[in-house]
Amino acid sequence: MALRKGVFWLLLLFALAVQSDTLKIGNEVSIAGVRTNYLTGYGIVVGLGGSGDGTTSRFTLLSIANMLKKMGVLIDPNKVRTKNAAAVMITANMPYFAKSGMRFDVTVSSLGDAKNIGNGVLIRTPLIGPDNKVYGFAQGSVSTGGGFSESNKGGKAQKNFATTGVVIDGGMMERDLPYSFEAQKSVDLMLKHPDFSRASGIEEAINTFIGNPVATAVDSATVKLTFPEEADKVKLISQIMQLKLSSNPDPTIVIYERTGTVIMSGDIRIDAPVYVSHGNIYVSVVKTPEVSQPSGAFSAGETVKTETVETQVKEEDGRIFAIESTSLKDLVKALNDLGTSPRDLIAILQAIKNSGKLHAKIIVM
């Protein structure tokens, strides 16, 4: 019961916290073109001391042979025998407005059957963008954060994941991004949660701040901002992102049926009074093993194992609880006092909604 109370009060505090009076525009929108771009690459980590890929990872052997060929060493891939190297995939997030020479972290993940890539060295690897162009290179020592994996006939011990690591500042940009913010005469502010009234509110807030109709709500997801002449674009965007909007969130209840999680937000109102009847039926099946033996010592019968199955049904007394308030706080407290589990709460909320007493949008995921 204590755990249930803790869960319900946590949901209540979350719901009340999101009902703030004001929101910043910067929390509601993102700027089209100003985004994270993903870089990927394929490389080799060496110096693993026997914890690298085995001979079954054929692509690792071919990669080693090709790498040595570029360095002037010719070798038959079939004759490569080493466990000190591992084939890896490199992933990274390209920073906003990345310029040549800028450094960033890269994530290194084993592609074969290596047991541990920690303390290995990533050989210089090209990083490719979505347009299949090379935007940078990655190289450096791999850190797995103290992870390890040891196994033998007695069992297996593991901490973290030793097959994934990070090269701190291991990536370096080699070319500038094609997007130039300074050259833009206008930008699109993309709403993270499309809503016509919210888009209109953003348009009004920006135009009031600037004093000119420079913002236009194109649709529920886009507000187009045209920069005034001679404007300091970086400073202007910074100021616009700090502008506040009046908050009037739609009352919403999000239900995750697989986990029994219920999140409530907004000014959820109910038409009081509401009467809720809550009762549970428990069905238990108990199996008792029994042994049937022949009666005499020289009997020709055999000992037979059997079991007795007993089914018990227990029904708790139903209770009717009255909810006489219209606030979210009292609704949650009433259901908490009723002793409902999260899954019971889902059924109760849906029933109240179907009765027309609960004024909120319910989203089941």
Boundary-marking domain end, from 217, 246, 275: 246
In angstroms, rounded to a whole number, what is the distance separating the alpha carbons of residues 322 and 310? 38
- HSE at residue 245, side-chain half, CA atoms within 13 A, is 24
pLDDT band at 1 (very low <50, low <70, confident <90, very high): very low
Same domain for 329 and 279: yes
**25 within a domain of the structure (yes/no):** no
Q: Averaged over 34-63, what is the pLDDT? A: 87
**Which domain, by its residues, includes 3?**
1-19+249-365
DSSP 276-298: EEE--EEEEEEEEEEEE--SSTT
Same domain for 264 and 199: no
Same domain for 362 and 293: yes
Boundary-marking domain end, from 221, 246, 271: 246
Same domain for 92 and 55: yes
- 345, 259 in Cβ contact below 8 A? no
Hey, CA dihedral for 298, 299, 302, 308, is it positive or negative? negative
Boundary-marking domain end, from 144, 173, 202: 173
Number of domains in the chain: 3
Spatial CA neighbour of 320 closest among 281, 277, 274, 273: 277
- 286, 269 in Cβ contact below 8 A? no
pTM for the model stands at 0.58
> What digits encode the pLDDT tens for the residues 94-130?
878 888 899 999 999 999 888 889 889 999 999 998 8
Same domain for 48 and 135: yes
Same domain for 288 and 215: no
**259 within a domain of the structure (yes/no):** yes
Same domain for 197 and 84: no
> What digits encode the pLDDT tens for the residues 191-232?
988 888 889 999 999 999 998 899 999 999 999 999 988 888
**30 within a domain of the structure (yes/no):** no
**89 within a domain of the structure (yes/no):** yes
**27 within a domain of the structure (yes/no):** no
